[in-house]
Structure 1
Amino acid sequence: MLEAVYLLSSCVLFASIRILIWYFSLLPHIVAKSDRWDVIWRWYNVWVSWTHSLFAGATCLYCLYRDPDMLNNLNKNCDSAVSSFLVSASTGYFLYDAVDFLACVPISNAWDVLAHHVVVITCFVLVVKSGLFIPFAVVALLVEVNSIFLHARQLMRMAGLSHTVWYSLNMLTNIVTFIACRFISIAWMMRWFWHNAEDIDQPYYGVLATSLPVMYIINIILFFKIMSKDAKHILSIVKNFKSGIHNSWRKCQSHDHPPTCINSKMLRRD
């Protein structure tokens, strides 16, 4: 009963955040002057997603810090109120975001996001209802650590800040955390599932066997989308890095081996 209250309260909370962002007109100039409604909607949507990522990412790391054994026992009985609250509140957010997409975006343009949300909501509702596999859901929410930088990347691009140093730093952090918090964490869960499949009852077995490969495929597609858009930026950073190393090497060489030529004026005797 308490988990249901958390879930519904979370839906209301994130909808309220959306309204507050609209009320205070938290729009950058480049978005505010756009006459495209979908651009303005996207800004509000990503802002709300970013706030959830901050909450879920920080809370997830806290839960794993307090109980690191959850990483090895994804189906252990967990009596942590914080972990249960995290899963329930995140389920509410994904329900809110799915409704927001269905109401404002054609399904053909948002199938990957909706597929992700359907998988997550199915898993989390089952977890919240039964109280089992709470550690599994907490580890799955490690992806929100990466989402902090993923959503920040989108906000910076929309605000016209893609040529700043902060964008470059965020872009590199996004790539590193994407690999660590999405690819590696999901691979870790798949490995655990493979070794413990015999001990998992239905319907959990069917849900996990379906959701884990789907999540991995969705994240591979998302990663290639990000890399294709940031490829030019990444190549520019690599080029500048190589150029800096080359220039530093030349300076070192010039200091270690000063010119041997002697000016003829230096040989004159007064």
Structure 2
Amino acid sequence: MEESKRITWNEIENKILKNQSELLTKELLGNFPYENTGNELRIPPWYNIFQLNNLIPLIAFFLVFRFISAKVKKHLWKDSVGFRQYRLQNLTVSLIHSIISGILAIHFAYFYTEAMFQQPMHWYQPWIKYGILFSMGYFFHDMRNTLQYKNEFSWFNIALVLHHIGSIFAFVTAITSRKFVPFAYCALIMEANSIFLHGRTLMQLSNTSTNYYTIYKFIQIINVITFVGCRFGIQTWQMYWVFTHRFSMHPFFVAFGYCGCIIFFVINGFIFKKILIADFMPANYSRKNAAVYRDERKD
């Protein structure tokens, strides 16, 4: 611990700004959570994702979700049939992922606040990648689960797969560059909202929204509040951070940061609009204007 006190983040940033990075030796840094690689100034080595220390845990997490999915299909929602049963089982696995990932992201934000909001580019510890690999394992599982269901090929399906591909690419970029990992955890805060988003849909599909109406309305309200904070709030901050640090990184990271944030902002805006219409507008208007009734299919 004494070695890590030899330097501070301010001193590191000053040396980087003065092009004196070579002075940041391993002896000086000690076990400080910073790697003097300069990877933020070059294209990420994406092929490093196939290194065994990345590939093995990724495959393991993927298999964990395959196992969870198999257990859910065997034991839960047996009274439902067809597409409704598929959606209930799929959403249950999604809810499990959101709970775990959301807790991990909020835990990191609380205990490593400086890393997430002040040093999201440079802060790095080897163990931090496992939370991201966990979510990547889920995204691969969900893509496979979605694409293998023959009756689920739709615009929503395509958008979901593209969302997962974009998220996986962003996470691979963070893991292989060993930069921007706290930035990726910041994005995972959106999963805290997904807990209520999935819970809301599960209650609708399982017809428990009428039996537990007070709980359902509470989840609806919390869903809207957390949607604004955990999605729009986080993405606004991320775009602001990329803008203020645009000269400190390779143009690829700047372009990817802008494009990724804007695309996901638009997607979330579309989803938010549909939620507001479906949950807070008259039923007839909701059915006509909110394309959220794919779950009413019988087949």
TM tier, smaller = 0.7 to 0.9
Distance 2:137 2:158 in 1: 20
Output the CA distance in 1 between the equivalents of 2:138 and 2:220: 25
Cα pair 1:10 1:92 within 8 Å, conserved: yes
- Find the counterpart in structure 1 of residue 90 from structure 2: 45
Residues 78 and 85 of structure 2 are in contact (CA less than 8 Å); yes or no, is this contact kept in structure 1?
Answer: no
Query: Quick check: 1:134 aligned with 2:185?
Result: no
1:170: how far off?
0.7
TM-score with structure 2 setting the length = 0.72
Out of 255, 268, 272, the position equivalent to 1:223 is 272
- Displacement of 1:80: 5.8
Query: 1:214: how far off?
Result: 0.4
Q: Quick check: 1:87–1:137 contact (8 Å CA) kept in 2? A: yes
Kindly indicate whether the alpha-carbon contact (under 8 Å) linking 1:28 and 1:159 is maintained by their aligned counterparts in 2.
Answer: no
Deviation at 1:4, TM superposition (A): 2.1
Q: Deviations over 1:2-37 (max 9, x none)?
A: 23222111111111111001112x1174xx2x4xx2
- How many residue pairs get aligned? The number is 227
Q: In 2, distance between residues paired with 1:15 and 1:178?
A: 28
Contact 1:8 1:92 in 2 (8 A): yes
Give TM-score, length-normalised by structure 1. Answer: 0.79
Q: Deviations over 1:107-160 (max 9, x none)?
A: 434232122212111101111222211011000000000001110001100111
Does residue 60 (structure 1) correspond to residue 105 (structure 2)? The answer is yes
Paired with 1:183 and 1:124, the residues of 2 have a C-alpha distance of 20
Output one character per residue of 1:25-70: Cα deviation in whole Å (capped at 9) or x when no partner: x1174xx2x4xx2221111111110000010001111111111012
Aligned positions of 1:1-270 closer than 5 A: 1-24=52-75, 26-27=76-77, 29=79, 32=80, 34=81, 37-69=82-114, 70-79=116-125, 81=127, 83-104=128-149, 105-163=152-210, 164-232=213-281
How far apart, CA to CA, are the structure 2 residues paired with 1:228 and 1:201?
41
CA deviation after TM superposition for structure 1 residue 207, in Å = 2.1
Q: Gaps (5+ residues) in structure 1?
A: 235-270
Deviation at 1:204, TM superposition (A): 2.4
- Give the helix-richer structure, 1 or 2: 1
CA RMSD of aligned residues (A): 1.7
The aligned amino acid for 1:102 is: L
Residue of structure 1 equivalent to 2:42? none
Change (3 A) 1:204 1:198: same
Question: What is residue 264 of structure 1 aligned with on the other side?
Answer: none
